[in-house]
Structure 1
């Protein structure tokens, strides 16, 4: 089985580009955000249908008990902003009767080397950097640990097209007031690509 590797930016899989090219593993750089991701992924799938989709990238953690650089598997994701405000309440799109915002994709039967910690994510247009909004989000969605800008969009497309999917995220920062000095993007990218290459060698040759 050969996957389509999906990442938002070149930087996130830059250490693996030559590796993927040499092994003829296709990859797609979608651009940042759920809209660009859904469009680019839908366009690619219409041209060539992969055996499964492997969405990889970096993300933020709402909780500091996950060390920066940790590679995780996101098994549930949602469009956390998709809905309506009703005073102090938030009504998800499901309660409004207009659609679906939560996704748990079908996962391909593969060997994951090694076993990764499993987490629940949210996908947002605006990453959280305000203490009050972070507290409100944690209160509304206490099970959520990881934030990205693309994950649920990949799950949405994979479910619509009935294609198995994995989402793998390396933690680059904590979700807090924006402070780039606290970020560990190089470490997260390094660990992500070590995992990616090991995974490909074990599952896609």
Structure 2
């Protein structure tokens, strides 16, 4: 299986050095990730595209820094509108607005993950790694409050992680007919930002373990 891995930063790419895949740095955000994914798929064919890197774990996921999250789907969770009076705002997703991210079909920014992702999660769990399997949410602005984190988790039951690129990678890959997967090592809980408590080294190590397991399967 020929695999393309998209990461946001050079630091994430460095921790994946030597893996038998084509690793490309896109820059931060879903747009940058989608453009880079499309560019690479135009150059040569791949069997699977992976959005990899570090991310936050949602309340209720059971994940902690150093654990791993694998996507069941990738969602652009902040596409929509805010309605209502101040203090009583309600988020309206694309389907309630009658809108789609693709002109030729109904797609509300939610993309299915590669069909082997659940089996991979089970394989890693059996190997002793704590793995969360569920929706991976993509946002353009990192969540900074517990209230917003809980609201997102309620909109996407079972949400395991938050990142800034996954849905962009999936959008571009699936338009080319190539399956996609998001693999994130957990560096912190989603909510109030406490950079001093982030475990970047442990998160990057978990990301590599997940990628190695995928490629070695």
TM over 0.5: same fold? yes
Whether the 8 Å contact between 2:185 and 2:204 is mirrored in structure 1 is: yes
Specify the alignment match of 2:91 in structure 1. 90
Q: Which runs of 5+ in 2 are unaligned?
A: 101-107, 126-130
Deviations 1:100-146 (A, max 9, x none): 22111343599735244312121101001134433443444443231
User: RMSD of the TM alignment (CA)?
Assistant: 2.2
Instruction: Measure how far apart 1:191 and its partner are.
Output: 2.1
Specify the alignment match of 2:66 in structure 1. 69
3-state DSSP of counterpart to 1:114: helix
Alpha-carbon distance between aligned partners in 1 of 2:78 and 2:28, rounded to the nearest angstrom: 17
Describe the shift of the 1:105–1:196 C-alpha distance in structure 2 as closer, same or farther (beyond 3 A).
closer
Normalization by structure 2: what TM-score?
0.82
3-state DSSP of counterpart to 2:31: helix
Aligned length: 198
Instruction: Pick the aligned partner of 1:144 from 122, 135, 159.
Output: 159
After superposing on structure 2, the runs of 4+ consecutive aligned residues of structure 1 that deviate more than 4 Å are 108-111
Deviations 1:183-202 (A, max 9, x none): 111111012213323432x2
Specify the alignment match of 1:166 in structure 2. 181
Indicate whether 1:59 and 2:74 are aligned.
no
Instruction: Measure how far apart 1:63 and its partner are.
Output: 2.1
Deviations 1:26-54 (A, max 9, x none): 11111110111111111111111211112
Q: Which runs of 5+ in 1 are unaligned?
A: none
Alpha-carbon distance between aligned partners in 2 of 1:159 and 1:38, rounded to the nearest angstrom: 11
Normalization by structure 1: what TM-score?
0.86
